[in-house]
Amino acid sequence: MTKKVQILMLTALVMILVSACGSTTETPISNPTMTEEEKVSEMTQTGFDPTYVEKEGVEVIYLAGGCFWGLEKLMQSLPGVVDVVSGYANGNADIEPTYNKVITGQTGYRETIRVEYQPKVISLDAILFAYFQVIDPTIKNAQGNDIGTQYQTGVYYTDETSKATVERIASIERARHEKFVVEIETLERFYDAEEYHQDYLIKNPLGYCHISSDEVNTISEMVVDPDNYQRPSEDQIRENLSDLQYKVTQNAGTESAFNNEYWDNHERGLYVDVVTGEPLFSSSDKFDSGTGWPSFTKPIDENTVRSKEDNSFGMVRIEVRSRAGNSHLGHLFFNDPVSPTGTRYCINSAALRFIPYEEMEKEGYGYLMEYVN
């Protein structure tokens, strides 16, 4: 064997050893040497999000709710949300989206935010109910003044636990409306939007937002966590309620005036949803309206009730329902001459359970005692 051949063989052996020592099982987020076919293959993987990094004690959910600027600002205001990123989700796998591509409405991508949150601080229930509080779930491909497929609403999950919660909350919200078009799907892929879209309303406080500042402030001051008051199954509800309670809460019935349990109750305490136990009203805000039904100036936490137009019986009224249970509670009236504030929540006793102040701690409502004067 010649000396030249020996040198070549030795060089090859060294190169093999160096290559073996430098090997790694870590897969790079983005490989600039990938072929176009390899890039498409990576983009079609379920849950593809090249910038997301898992963190201990942090979960993730993806929300599409029209223009992502406003939804980003809302979620940033919630305690327990640690990061929010605006981006594009669940479009054509052959397209790597940019804003200019997405606004054509031809990519299938939705303006979406990635919400990273600490479940020990804020529940997914709370995040989802906040989301549904500011969108119109009955409109397809539009929200606010924005129209186009990129503004389609959607909730996209990445694991089975989140899926169960998302589907449970969606079923409650679906029951509130005759039409429900929010996409409830697995996250397929997500790309960060351009840098100028990130924290847009922080950088541009006067920028466009289809979510009002009042809504952001109300939701950010949430006191009651809906995760603690989940709606029971239909069988459990039927078993737990009296005929009158079921008629009122599940079939939007009305009990008799002056012939119900709490219309003249003056005891100090808390009124909760009879179906879920979710706190609704404080005795501090109860007043004698002269109508024969329990009347309140406001809820204990504005986030625990929902209102919608009610055209039943030839009248135009505002129906009031509970957040977590979707129980029919009663109606909301403005410019009431007897109410100290002009606002009257006229509520059926059959939709409520009263908890005396002295029993609130034992019943698990001690955290609300400061709201019951």
Assigned token pair, 289: 């309206």
Q: Which residues are catalytic?
A: 67, 346
Cα–Cα distance for residue pair 23/143, rounded to 1 Å: 49
* Backbone φ/ψ region at 231: left (φ over 0), alpha (ψ -120 to 50), beta: beta
The amino acid at 315: M
Instruction: Name the H helices within 229-372.
Output: 234-240, 243-251
Cα–Cα distance for residue pair 320/252, rounded to 1 Å: 10
Q: Count of alpha carbons within 13 Å of 243, Cβ hemisphere only?
A: 0
Other CB atoms within 10 Å distance of the CB of residue 283: 23
Contact 61, 115 (CB under 8 A): yes
Cα–Cα distance for residue pair 95/310, rounded to 1 Å: 45
Cα–Cα distance for residue pair 26/49, rounded to 1 Å: 16
Cα–Cα distance for residue pair 170/163, rounded to 1 Å: 10
Phi, psi at 280, each rounded to 5°: -125, -55
Assigned token pair, 30: 């983005």
- Picking from 222, 56, 240, the residue whose alpha carbon sits closest to that of residue 125 is 222
Assigned token pair, 333: 């009236």
Contact 125, 226 (CB under 8 A): yes
- Picking from 303, 315, 149, 329, the residue whose alpha carbon sits closest to that of residue 225 is 303
Contact 172, 231 (CB under 8 A): yes
3-state SS class at 293: coil
Cα–Cα distance for residue pair 44/42, rounded to 1 Å: 5
Phi, psi at 117, each rounded to 5°: -140, 160
